[in-house]
Structure 1
Amino acid sequence: MKSYLRPYVARLVLIWLAALVGIGAGLALPLISEQVIDGPVAHGDSSGLLPLGLLAIGVGVVEALLIFFRRWAQVKPVLGLETRIRDDLYGHLQRLPMGFHGDWQSGQLLSRATTDLSTIRRFLGFGMLFLVMNILQLITVTVLLLNKYWPLGLLVLASSVPIIWTSLRFEKRYIKISRQVQDEQGDLATLVEESALGIRTIKAFGRRHHVYDRYDDAALKVYDTSMSKVRLSARFFSFLEIIPNITLALVLLLGALAVGSGELTLGALVAFTTLMLQLVWPIASLGYILAMAQEAMTSADRLMEVMDTVPAIEGGTETIERPRGHLRFEGVGFRFPDSDEPVLRDVWLEVKPGETVAVVGATGAGKTTLTALVPRLLDPTSGRVTIDGQDVRDLKLTTLRQVVATAFEEPTLFSMSVRENLMLGRRDATEDELAAAIQTAQAMFVHDLPWGLDTRIGEQGLSLSGGQRQRLALARAVLSKPRILVLDDTLSALDVETEALVEEALRHVLREATGIVVAHRASTVLLADKVALLRDGTITHVGQHHELLAQVPEYRELLAQDADFDGASEGALR
């Protein structure tokens, strides 16, 4: 937190000075009123009223100006701090590995970046300052009251004991219920997001009422917990209102008796009562501020759960000046943290520069996991992956991901224009290069969109078909001009005619790059110079398509599931 506040130290010092002087000005007014009553008013000296009256007006104006300055000055530090923390949180989320994002619900992360940060901002902008100011005011006023008339001062001091005791009990219970509400709000946000992203599936299966019932149950859960939180706060706030009012009534009664017996002047009683009234707001707001502090602490804990997570994948320091794209898997194994069985074991595979290898295997064999090791979306638990002889873990992540581009089976598009989506991997691409990538991916449909390349597509590209999204994702990968191109079953959603056109264009692209193609279709296998068969987490056979077709029954069985197998294989064998 210190690093976030450091740029605003000078402004914060001025804010605290203004707050302290403002407290002093507020406390001076009752003392001035005492002098007015016991002086000019008591003695009938009208000439003495003017200077004291002007002094009171001056002090009031100064207090108002200080309040205005304090509120104006604190806007920049508070909003600046919130912005910097949110930026750091977003940057940290980008550095965290895929495993972290797989374990966390997106709604929980979203609530931390929005609701929790707003709670922290409100406390820093209002609660923390007033917490300190109110404590200082309570102490100062209590000392003044004891100095004015100690019996009444002791009465006021005694009234604070039940308030402090109740506040401590309230704090413990409020922390627990506050955290529960915030976690349930995160779960609710996850449901909303999933429903928005899966709206087509929900409508297609007619599950609108089912999804609504799930949302309603979660919303009612948040409502019930929030009501418990409100009831707890209401009881506490009501108690804080009762004690000061009872104390004020006793002060007026005992003070009047003291004035009647001559132990206290009328001016001193008025000043005492006014100072006593100045304690009402600090005491009454104590519960609200403590509640705000507990919510901010809970939010900070939730935030630090993410910020304290150490990225499992850190970039190295090495670079490759002139990458050739020589890729090797050397005894690679991979096991997910919560799994006893390895996904990959003792994988050896070499892909020479300019060579393309098709990885073929049954569903769940580990093909996607294998390809994810190349751009370090995952790291092997044993062995190593090298590019041009260098372990990918020793390379800077920016260097590695400039060398490697990946097009996934499930394409991810963002709520931005087609042009921005395509240039995500390479911001300096020219119009000619952009047109060539679109042509390669057979994504010319973009020119028919309402505003062409500048057409904004919806979140996840839901306004496009599955094949259109895949073609845009492929064009994005091709546009980055990588030395190693990873295609994770990228053509699965294309029709036969479009697939043939894309494959023909890809052959030209793959001549200039090292390629790894996850394939389920025989036609996709034919893009490769050789085929690697992945079985039970390891590569059992490597060879050309026609060799494996003739010699490995399992390979033939895998491809036999493809309707185009016969024609494709016959063409390959000729």
Structure 2
Amino acid sequence: MYLVDIFKRYLSKRTILYLIAFTFLIFSEILQVIPPKLIGDIIDSLTSGNLTQSKLISEVILLVAIALFHFVVIYIWSSSLFGGEFFIQKELRKDMFYRTLYNKKAPNDQGNALTIMNNDINTIGSSFGFGILSFMSTVIGLLVIFTMSIMISWKLTIVSLPPMLLIIFVVKRLGKQVHQNSMDVQDKKGYLNNHSLEFFNGLRLIRIFMLEKKYVESFFRLNQGVTNSEIVLARTVSMFHPIIVTLIRINYVITLGYGSYLIAVGDITIGALITFLFYINLLHWPIRALGDFINFFQQGNASASRFIDYVDNTKNNSSFTRNIKSLTDIRFEHFSLRRGNSNALSDVNLIVRRGENIAIVGKTGSGKSSLISFFAGEYDTYEGSASISNVPYRELSQKNLSNLVAYVPQEPSNLSKTIYENLILGSSSAKEKIEEVLQITSLHKEVKNSNLTLNSSIGGSGKNLSGGQLQKLALSRALLKNSELLLLDDIFSFIDSKSAVAIFEKLLRFRREKTNIIVTNNFELTQRVDKIIVLIDGKVVEMGSHETLIQSNNWYSNQYRKFKELSELEEEERRLQCE
């Protein structure tokens, strides 16, 4: 019962409000059964000639008083009940948002996540609003039936109920179909959202490779699939109302026919029959509510199962509360990190001290990006020991770690905002340093040469800027954050070697006494750091300064000699071209 699980997790604090709503709902139904009895008595007094003016006035005043009091009661239960509906939607969205925000990895199925965030959570909220109202109304209908049998005629009650009992059987059969159809609709909406996200993110690529026809056909197919499933669901749901209305009208016919017979034989009065018809009318909503309840329950339970499956598979790391004030060192002891079915890093032992400049080099696929991503806090499952300022990584607050670290990955992300707005994402208080940072990264030249300004929009994911401009923008943003630890993952791949060296040297001067770690295979840069870590197949095979590793005659020294030879050949080619 997924809806019960949702209640236990998110609504237990509002149990008292639901009890208030249930209590006043019952009180409301009790108030509803009184006026029909009073009206029946007035009619019997009128037909017998015993109705006096004073009695009529007193009965009318009593009916008005009950109506006013009923208004207050309805307001109390409706505000308590529907307040819970809006509360649960808020809590579910908040929990899902935080689980996604603080999860180490973004959801793979983004379209499905959006469907849950919008459609499923709304459906769950309706189940705890109108769904509970429908359930309570169905239960309260038993009170009306009891009143009909005791105060009017048990014979008439028994004869008039079969059409209503038939409703329960029909609605139960339709409820299973509603559940299956609801799951199918939500699943297909998830597929459509995924396709739409893929379309918008890859719009330029689609146009370049002339894939418009393919995406149009797939979009139409998925969109039609959603439409077809919603039509099937709508047909199933729409069967509830006509069936209930037909059976209720049959119920009226039976009640009037048999009630007339009981009046003829003297078992009931005309006023009693009219009162009974009022009660039958009061039963219309509870019986229809039974269909609505099954409908809400089936759809709500299907949505709740999808929501719980998502949150149970999306770990929320926001609960980690251990914080550190400043970075002293980072220590790895026999550290191993798995990605998929293999080890990305194995038995790593190293110490990064405050203020060190470190370069990580190695073959492609040796684990360089995995190591620097771990420094940034993107993983919390590992073997061995990994700590920052003597606090284990898995226990550190993600928010606290984010304050300490500025991370620039291989493919920097940017928002569809202006260059200036992207620059100050990390620190809106660093406006006075923007000019200095732009000089360090040479972004000011890029902006000037491209006829752009800081107020120019970069478009979706930076599509209006080149690869080098995007890397300089991401680096500028990281420098403006001025964090204690700067992590750069091959950030100069789109920038020529000479410019990269100039930027790196200025960067180190700007961040002196702070810790900087860079992943690179540019040996012009490695000469300018304090320590070099060589990774091969996920293992640290060499560690030391540039001068020390050159003399070791291992992987680093061999690669450095090849790099120097290639650089000399390129320089010679340029010299010959100039001649």
**TM-score between both structures, scaled by the size of structure 1:** 0.85
Distance 1:263 1:394 in 2: 78
Letter matched to residue 94 of structure 1:
L
Distance 1:90 1:3 in 2: 16
Q: Deviations over 1:333-363 (max 9, x none)?
A: 2222x41x32222234444443333223333
Distance 2:266 2:561 in 1: 108
Choose from 214, 227, 233 the match for 1:229. 233
Q: Deviations over 1:375-427 (max 9, x none)?
A: 22114633333445654345444443333321111212235565554444445
How far residue 76 of structure 1 moved from its aligned partner, in angstroms, is 4.5
Q: Deviations over 1:293-314 (max 9, x none)?
A: 2222222222222333473867
Letter matched to residue 509 of structure 2:
H
Contact 1:533 1:539 in 2 (8 A): yes
Q: Deviations over 1:261-283 (max 9, x none)?
A: 22221111111122112212221
SS state at 1:410 partner: coil
Give the equivalent residue in structure 2 for 1:91. Answer: 98
Contact 1:533 1:541 in 2 (8 A): yes
Give the equivalent residue in structure 2 for 1:189. Answer: 193
Contact 2:359 2:526 in 1 (8 A): yes
Give the equivalent residue in structure 2 for 1:493. Answer: 494
1:9-408 counterparts in 2 under 5 A?
A: 15-16=21-22, 18-43=24-49, 45=51, 47=53, 48-64=55-71, 66-67=73-74, 70-71=77-78, 76-98=83-105, 101=106, 104-136=108-140, 138-147=141-150, 148-309=152-313, 311=315, 319-324=323-328, 326-336=329-339, 338-339=340-341, 341-379=342-380, 381-387=382-388, 391-408=392-409
**Relative to structure 2, which stretch is displaced further, 443-452 or 504-513?**
443-452
Give the equivalent residue in structure 2 for 1:538. Answer: 539
SS state at 2:157 partner: helix
Letter matched to residue 430 of structure 2:
T
How far residue 221 of structure 1 moved from its aligned partner, in angstroms, is 2.3
Q: Deviations over 1:537-562 (max 9, x none)?
A: 22333455585599457886699799
Alpha carbons of structure 1 residues 495 and 220: separation in structure 2 relative to 1, 3 Å: farther
**Relative to structure 2, which stretch is displaced further, 378-387 or 279-288?**
378-387
How far residue 197 of structure 1 moved from its aligned partner, in angstroms, is 1.9
Q: Deviations over 1:424-464 (max 9, x none)?
A: 4445x333234433433333379879996677765534444
The alignment's C-alpha RMSD in Å is: 3.7
SS state at 2:129 partner: helix
Alpha carbons of structure 1 residues 310 and 198: separation in structure 2 relative to 1, 3 Å: closer
Contact 2:356 2:515 in 1 (8 A): yes
Letter matched to residue 143 of structure 2:
T
Letter matched to residue 414 of structure 1:
L
**Relative to structure 2, which stretch is displaced further, 212-221 or 142-151?**
212-221
Q: Deviations over 1:464-516 (max 9, x none)?
A: 44433322322222223233221011222345675455333223245433222
Give the equivalent residue in structure 1 for 2:576. Answer: none
Distance 1:559 1:436 in 2: 36
Distance 1:397 1:490 in 2: 24
Contact 1:315 1:394 in 2 (8 A): no
**Relative to structure 2, which stretch is displaced further, 18-27 or 494-503?**
494-503
Alpha carbons of structure 1 residues 398 and 231: separation in structure 2 relative to 1, 3 Å: closer
SS state at 1:528 partner: coil
How far residue 238 of structure 1 moved from its aligned partner, in angstroms, is 3.6
**Relative to structure 2, which stretch is displaced further, 522-531 or 258-267?**
522-531
Q: Deviations over 1:22-47 (max 9, x none)?
A: 32333223212211211124427462
Distance 1:406 1:542 in 2: 23
SS state at 2:185 partner: helix
1:407-422 counterparts in 2 under 5 A?
A: 407-415=408-416, 418=419, 421-422=422-423
How far residue 156 of structure 1 moved from its aligned partner, in angstroms, is 3.3
Give the equivalent residue in structure 1 for 2:515. Answer: 514
Alpha carbons of structure 1 residues 69 and 401: separation in structure 2 relative to 1, 3 Å: closer
SS state at 2:413 partner: coil
Letter matched to residue 408 of structure 2:
A
Distance 1:446 1:374 in 2: 30
Letter matched to residue 437 of structure 1:
V
How far residue 159 of structure 1 moved from its aligned partner, in angstroms, is 3.4
Distance 1:369 1:485 in 2: 16
Q: Deviations over 1:43-63 (max 9, x none)?
A: 274624443344434434544
Alpha carbons of structure 1 residues 352 and 145: separation in structure 2 relative to 1, 3 Å: closer
Contact 1:315 1:395 in 2 (8 A): no
How far residue 236 of structure 1 moved from its aligned partner, in angstroms, is 4.2
Distance 2:513 2:216 in 1: 51
Gaps of 5+ in 1: none
Letter matched to residue 30 of structure 2:
G
Identical amino acids, percent of aligned pairs? 24
Contact 2:41 2:271 in 1 (8 A): yes
**Relative to structure 2, which stretch is displaced further, 299-308 or 253-262?**
299-308
Gaps of 5+ in 2: 1-6, 573-579
Distance 1:559 1:250 in 2: 101
Alpha carbons of structure 1 residues 274 and 399: separation in structure 2 relative to 1, 3 Å: closer
Distance 1:562 1:282 in 2: 86
Aligned positions, number = 562
Give the equivalent residue in structure 2 for 1:460. Answer: 461
SS state at 2:540 partner: strand
Contact 1:30 1:274 in 2 (8 A): yes
SS state at 2:253 partner: helix
**TM-score between both structures, scaled by the size of structure 2:** 0.84
Q: Deviations over 1:95-123 (max 9, x none)?
A: 3222xx35x31122222222222112223
SS state at 1:515 partner: strand
Distance 1:83 1:373 in 2: 33
**Relative to structure 2, which stretch is displaced further, 355-364 or 309-318?**
309-318
Contact 2:263 2:270 in 1 (8 A): yes
**Relative to structure 2, which stretch is displaced further, 416-425 or 142-151?**
416-425
Letter matched to residue 215 of structure 1:
F
Give the equivalent residue in structure 1 for 2:433. Answer: 433
SS state at 1:244 partner: helix
Contact 1:333 1:381 in 2 (8 A): yes
Distance 1:118 1:7 in 2: 20
